[in-house]
A and B are shown apart, each in its own frame.
Chain A
Amino acid sequence: MKNYLTDDYTLRSWFFTTDHKRIAILYFASLILLFFIGGAAATMIRIELATPRADLVSSDTYNRLFTMHGIIMVWFFLIPSIPNTIGNFIVPLMIGARDLAFPRLNLASWYLFMLGAAITLLAIFMGGVDTGWTLYTPFSTLYSNSYVAVAAAGIFVAGFSSILTGLNFIVTIHKLRAPGLTWYRLPLFIWSLYATSVILVLATPVLAITLVLLAAERIFGIGVFDPRIGGDPLLFQHLFWFYSHPAVYIMILPGMGVVNELITCYSRKKIFGYKFVAWASLAIALAGFLVWGHHMFVSGQSLTASLVFSFMSFVVAVPSAIKVFNWTATLHKGTLRFDAPMLYALGFIGLFTMGGLTGLFLACLAFDVYATDTYFVVAHFHYIMVGGMVTAYFGGLHYWWPKITGRMYPEYWARAAAILIFLGFNLTFFPQFILGAEGMPRRYHVYPPEFQVWNVLSSGGATILAVAYLMPLFYLGYSIFFGAKAPANPWGATGLEWQTPSPPPKYNFERQPVVSAPPYDYEHAPEPQNV
């Protein structure tokens, strides 16, 4: 019985594929490489920060390291991670379709992504960028002696990959659902990816034009952000954050989407408050566009604007909180199983909540004046991005691994890695809240000696985290060749993706599925299998 992997073995059939499942694999492989490049930068940062003095690298190199870490992790790992790997693979399966709406655009997305990554890596190997991933003017335009325009070009190209992905998902979800699959019967993963796609489509173009302005300023000296000729550097920040704040929701919404699937499956219960969770995703997408000025409280923005953005930042927390409450209520009186995906999901709920709450601290103007540009902010966003998003990515990866590869992963190794990731993560980043509260600025590689103990703890945690992230590389790789063969539905989960073989055939379903059941109908779901 042929499946999408065995259908054709030629290189041509992979690099010219329009099969969403193969494209997902292409992305997955690329993202592993990019994650480790970004991680290598983080490793050097944490080694340097283990001591108060500048031992390992110069200031200039350090600037380039954290910039490279930020650019790669944000644009070349976090943003594409769940949407382009799990999303590409699972969305058509989950809605009972044969592929995404525009399969060739999907392949174009991957090629654009790779081109963008190549250009950005070129910038890094030429010597890097030293402006921080935020590329603030006028430093980036007038004073930086680094490859800003090259990096901007790489990010610009990758942005179009994002836009095409979002476009594809939106049209697919609207028009390619199986008969009977109404919006309120959709798994919440789809609602989350839809909301993500709205942001991808509407925010990324503003980034694109901002990078054009940046590059034009840098290369031609047009002066659009140059205060000497009447330009306003804050215009750059407004344009940049109009995209980059919603971008963080691009990064977290898919993770939340995965968590819906995991919590329901491993509690064997339908989600509590389905409609609330569904609409909360859309509310996050919309409200996420109304808060960007909270990155600019100390930049010279007007007080009125700061007040409005601060207030809106409190508002945007509400739908996220609703989700957390609903997940918790779903767990209540569920038949819990603590398989690795569930461990990741539970970790997500706790760590995301901490990250989200500390975000509210930062949304308070008075506190932010004190905490901005300190390690408090660094800890806050790493709790959400790493503790939240990367955790959810790993959870989803494990959950759908049998479907994607047709193999079971080794459960005990997976649980060990999940626990190690959780411990390593907290040891790395919790001390950073303390460092920030005590006043250590971000982007500095020298610091007063009294901060060393927390930095050492953080670097120690990072070592554990590095090992923990390497573990799945080995046991998942092992499972591809030696893992037990997976049945169609090893977890006894609901959802159309589990009603086709593992791995799926090229066109996903033998016959077009027709849906009449509500979502998360765990009362009538098959039992999990012991494989």
Chain B
Amino acid sequence: MTSWRPSNGLFLCWAALMVLLALTVTLAYQPLGFFNFVVALAIATAKAGLVMIIFMELGNRPGLVRAFAGAGFFWLMILLWLGLMDFVTRA
């Protein structure tokens, strides 16, 4: 009982998440212009990906589960893409 400890994978994932958090904060203070926004979202996506693949175990689940996990994000992209299209293309 006392010999149990969490797997290395979990520790590594946590460490990676902390590193990415530090990275995103640091980069936020760099003058990258428009790319600040892009970088922030990209790092967020990476962090979310780690949580989903490691903590939520999507890394070793069948394709159906992964499809379900992806569906929400895919549909959100429809909302954002087609929705913003109006605002972005107004005269």
Instruction: Please list the residues of chain A having a beta carbon within 8 angstroms of any beta carbon in chain B.
Output: 174, 202, 206, 232, 234, 238-239, 242, 289-290, 292-293, 296, 301-305, 308-309
Contacts and interface: CB of A to CB of B under 8 A. Distances in A.
Contact of B89 (A238, A290, A296, A305): A305
A105 B78 CA distance: 29
Interface string B59-91: 000001000000110010011001101110111
B84 to A, nearest CB: 9
B71 A305 contact: no
A238 B86 contact: yes
Interface residues of B, number: 14
B75 A289 contact: yes
B72 A305 contact: no
B49 to A, nearest CB: 21
Nearest to B72: A202
Nearest to B86: A305
Q: Is the interface of B mostly helix, strand, loop or mixed?
A: helix
Interface of B: 64, 71-72, 75, 78-79, 82-83, 85-87, 89-91
28 contacts: A174-B64, A202-B71, A202-B72, A202-B75, A206-B79, A232-B87, A238-B83, A238-B86, A239-B83, A242-B79, A242-B83, A289-B78, A290-B78, A290-B82, A293-B82, A293-B86, A296-B86, A302-B85, A302-B87, A302-B89, A302-B90, A302-B91, A303-B89, A304-B85, A304-B89, A305-B82, A305-B89, A309-B82
Contacts of A301: 86
Contact of A308 (B85, B87, B90): B85
Nearest to A243: B79
Q: Which 6 residue pairs are nearest across A and B when measured between Cβ atoms? A: A304-B89, A305-B86, A302-B89, A302-B90, A202-B75, A301-B86
Given A202-B71, A202-B75, A302 B64 contact: no
A427 B37 CA distance: 58
Contacts of A232: 87
A34 to B, nearest CB: 29
Nearest to A307: B89
Contacts of B87: 232, 302
A19 B50 CA distance: 40
A174 B64 CA distance: 10
A304 B90 CA distance: 8
Contacts, number: 38
A308 B82 contact: yes
Given A202-B71, A202-B72, A302-B89, 18 more contacts: A174-B64, A206-B79, A234-B86, A238-B83, A238-B86, A242-B79, A289-B75, A289-B78, A290-B78, A293-B86, A302-B91, A303-B89, A304-B86, A304-B89, A305-B82, A305-B86, A308-B82, A308-B85
A363 to B, nearest CB: 16
A308 B71 CA distance: 23
A309 B86 CA distance: 10
Given A174-B64, A202-B71, A302 B78 contact: no
A301 B79 CA distance: 15
A174 B78 CA distance: 25
A308 B88 CA distance: 14
A245 to B, nearest CB: 11
B90 to A, nearest CB: 4
Nearest to B78: A289
Nearest to B64: A174
A302 B79 contact: no
